[in-house]
């Protein structure tokens, strides 16, 4: 696969899979306003994914649409990181993950504003404002739960511990030629700012940054957790059962 | 043409209608930009544009979505801001170099004694507020 297409798919699939996981929370969040909030965050991610998938399809040049790429690829063809693909059925986990992801996307899209790929810089121009709002939302919740009751503190810490082994994979180096040509933002260069941002929130929330070994990644090369397959089965079922259906 | 979700303002008032050109064959090309990446109203807006122009006698109409430069609430016209307020949606304050939350004026009674009840509202572009003076809830168009 072309490195440029693969890079764009990585950004797109992180957003698409996050949108799908966020959708799970609709009707299940602790309060009605949170149902709406998580639905809106998912919708922003879906919108970003759509623009990125259209772009990947155009770069690929085989006539694949955003729907073809979302519904007709198998897990090995996805390029998302493991952080986003696992279930997040615990609210603390959902907020810990949103904090990590939005801190990363915030730096990523800020860097991509200067991308030599005009579509990527265009997507970044919109996305950077949206993910800043997601980051702010996660920040509020992590502090509220972390610096809350002993019960909420313990559960928020456990959630952070559970997500932390998946942080390093976000900084997997991108194709050097793509970085040199100014298309891609160098993921390794984002690391310091992302971790700083998270550390400040974690400290404010009276939580402790976990010291755990990173998990083996591989999502950017198409090696995924078992859970991505279940997510895709649900997400792709309708489109595959009724090809070409419209509603 | 009214916005499908906030019909008191036109897509021109909102600043999401970027350009309309007609070439020498009479073909019309329209550029629209979304407020938020995932705004679900975009398809409805494109359909409405094509329908209205077709009814007006233009046989070839195409709508292009453009992302850059990114839309901002600063693109809403003064008339648009006034219409939002009259409709009961507190308009956004101007975006500045530093993000700061100013007090939002209640569109019902005009009081500045208001509070945010939810950072996310019925559409991606709005948050929910409550007025402490008149006790009425209202939508606020978030500054972006």
Domain boundaries, chain A: 3-207+219-241
pLDDT at B99 over 70: no
| CA nearest to A138 within chain B | B119
Q: Considering the domain boundaries, does residue B40 fall inside one?
A: yes
Residue B101's pLDDT band, with cuts at 50, 70 and 90, is: low
Q: What is the mean pLDDT of residues A54-59?
A: 97
Cα A218 to Cα B73: distance, rounded to the nearest angstrom: 40
Q: What is the pLDDT of residue B93?
A: 85
Cis ω on the peptide bond leading into residue B69 (within 30° of 0)? yes
Residues A102, A108, A109: CA angle, nearest 5 degrees: 90
pLDDT at B97 over 70: no
Closest CA to A66 of A116, A16, A133: A16
Q: Do B37 and A44 touch (CB under 8 A)?
A: yes
Q: What is the pLDDT of residue B37?
A: 87
Q: Do A36 and B71 touch (CB under 8 A)?
A: no
Q: What is the mean pLDDT of chain B?
A: 91
B67 in contact with chain A, both atoms CB, cutoff 8 A? yes
The pLDDT tens digits for B28-54 are: 999 999 998 888 888 899 999 999 999
Q: Considering the domain boundaries, does residue B75 fall inside one?
A: no
B122 in contact with chain A, both atoms CB, cutoff 8 A? yes
Residue A126's pLDDT band, with cuts at 50, 70 and 90, is: very high
Distances (CA, A) of A183 to A116, A141, A174, A179, B75: 5, 34, 10, 6, 29
Q: Do A125 and B67 touch (CB under 8 A)?
A: yes
Strands of B42-84 (E only): list them: 61-65
Q: What is the pLDDT of residue B100?
A: 56
Cα A222 to Cα A172: distance, rounded to the nearest angstrom: 13
Cα A132 to Cα A105: distance, rounded to the nearest angstrom: 9
Sheet holding B114-118, edge to edge: B89-90, B137-141, B126-131, B114-118
Residue pair B140/A59 in contact by the 8 Å Cβ criterion = no
A193 DSSP 8-state letter = H
Separation in Å, CA of A133 to nearest CA in chain B: 9
Cβ-proximal residues to B45 (8 Å cutoff; 6+ apart), any chain: B1, B3, B4, B11, B16, B32, B63
Residue A116's pLDDT band, with cuts at 50, 70 and 90, is: very high
Which pair of tokens denotes residue B106? 């209640």
Q: What is the mean pLDDT of residues B7-21?
A: 95
A105 in contact with chain B, both atoms CB, cutoff 8 A? no
Is the pLDDT higher at B68 or at B32? B32
Closest CA to B75 of A54, A129, A19, A168: A129
Cβ-proximal residues to B1 (8 Å cutoff; 6+ apart), any chain: B10, B11, B12, B17, B45, B48, B49, B52
A73 in contact with chain B, both atoms CB, cutoff 8 A? no
Q: Considering the domain boundaries, does residue B121 fall inside one?
A: yes
| CA nearest to A44 within chain B | B38
B10 DSSP 8-state letter = B
Same-domain status, B95 and B129: yes
Query: What is the tally of structural domains in chain B?
Result: 2
Q: What is the pLDDT of residue A76?
A: 97
Q: What is the pLDDT of residue A164?
A: 98
Residue pair A152/A69 in contact by the 8 Å Cβ criterion = no
Residue pair B41/B48 in contact by the 8 Å Cβ criterion = no
Q: Considering the domain boundaries, does residue B26 fall inside one?
A: yes
B85 in contact with chain A, both atoms CB, cutoff 8 A? no
Same-domain status, B57 and B93: no
Quick one: which H or E segment has residue A129? helix A118-146
CATH topology of domain A3-207+219-241: Ferritin (1.20.1260)
Q: Considering the domain boundaries, does residue B53 fall inside one?
A: yes
Among B49, B65, B81, the domain-final residue is B65
Q: Considering the domain boundaries, does residue B71 fall inside one?
A: no
B122 contacts on A by Cβ (under 8 Å): 36
Q: Considering the domain boundaries, does residue B43 fall inside one?
A: yes
Q: Considering the domain boundaries, does residue B5 fall inside one?
A: no
Residues 151-190, chain A, touching B (beta carbon < 8 A) = none
B37 contacts on A by Cβ (under 8 Å): 44, 46-48, 50-51, 123, 126-127, 130
Which pair of tokens denotes residue A222? 């198409």
A33 contacts on B by Cβ (under 8 Å): 117-118, 120, 128
Kindly give the interhelix angle for A187-204 and A118-146, rounded to the nearest 10 degrees: 20
Q: What is the pLDDT of residue A218?
A: 96
Q: Do B37 and A33 touch (CB under 8 A)?
A: no
Q: What is the mean pLDDT of chain A?
A: 96
* Domain that residue B58 falls in: 11-65
Name B62's bridge partners. B29
Residue A53's pLDDT band, with cuts at 50, 70 and 90, is: very high
């Amino acid at each position: 696969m072309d490195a440029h297409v693969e890079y764009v798919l990585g950004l797109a699939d992180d957003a698409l899979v996050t949108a799908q996981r966020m959708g799970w929370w609709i009707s299940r969040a602790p309060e009605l306003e949170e149902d709406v909030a998580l639905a809106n965050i998912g919708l922003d991610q879906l919108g970003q994914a759509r623009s990125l998938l259209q772009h990947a399809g155009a770069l690929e040049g085989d006539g694949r649409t955003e729907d073809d790429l979302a519904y007709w690829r198998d897990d090995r063809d996805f390029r998302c990181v493991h952080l986003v693909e696992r279930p997040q059925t615990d609210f603390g986990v959902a907020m810990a993950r949103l904090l990590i992801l939005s801190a990363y996307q915030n730096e990523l899209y800020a860097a991509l504003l200067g991308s030599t790929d005009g579509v990527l810089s265009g997507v970044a121009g919109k996305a950077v404002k949206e993910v800043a709002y997601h980051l702010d939302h996660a920040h509020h919740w992590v502090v509220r739960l972390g610096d809350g009751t002993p019960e909420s503190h313990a559960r928020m810490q456990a959630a952070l511990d559970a997500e932390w082994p998946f942080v390093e994979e976000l900084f997997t180096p991108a194709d050097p030629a793509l970085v040199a040509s100014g298309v891609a933002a160098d993921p390794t260069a984002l690391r310091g700012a992302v971790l700083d941002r998270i550390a400040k929130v974690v400290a404010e929330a009276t939580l402790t940054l976990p010291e755990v070994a990173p998990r083996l990644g591989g999502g950017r090369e198409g090696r995924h957790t078992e859970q991505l397959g279940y997510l895709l089965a649900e997400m792709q079922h309708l489109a595959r059962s009724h090809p070409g259906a419209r509603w | 043409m009214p916005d499908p979700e906030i019909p008191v303002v036109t897509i021109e008032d909102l600043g999401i209608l970027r350009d309309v050109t007609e070439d020498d064959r009479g073909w019309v090309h329209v550029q629209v930009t979304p407020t938020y990446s995932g705004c679900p109203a975009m398809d409805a807006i494109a359909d409405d544009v094509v329908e209205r122009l077709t009814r007006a006698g233009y046989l070839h109409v195409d709508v292009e979505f453009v992302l850059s430069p990114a839309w901002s609430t600063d693109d809403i016209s003064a008339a648009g801001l006034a219409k939002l307020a009259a409709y009961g949606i507190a308009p956004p304050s101007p975006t500045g170099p530093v993000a700061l939350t100013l007090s939002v004026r209640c569109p019902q009674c005009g009081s500045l004694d208001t509070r945010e009840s939810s950072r996310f509202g019925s559409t991606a572009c709005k948050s929910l507020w409550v007025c402490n003076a008149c006790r009425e809830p209202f939508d606020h168009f978030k500054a972006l």
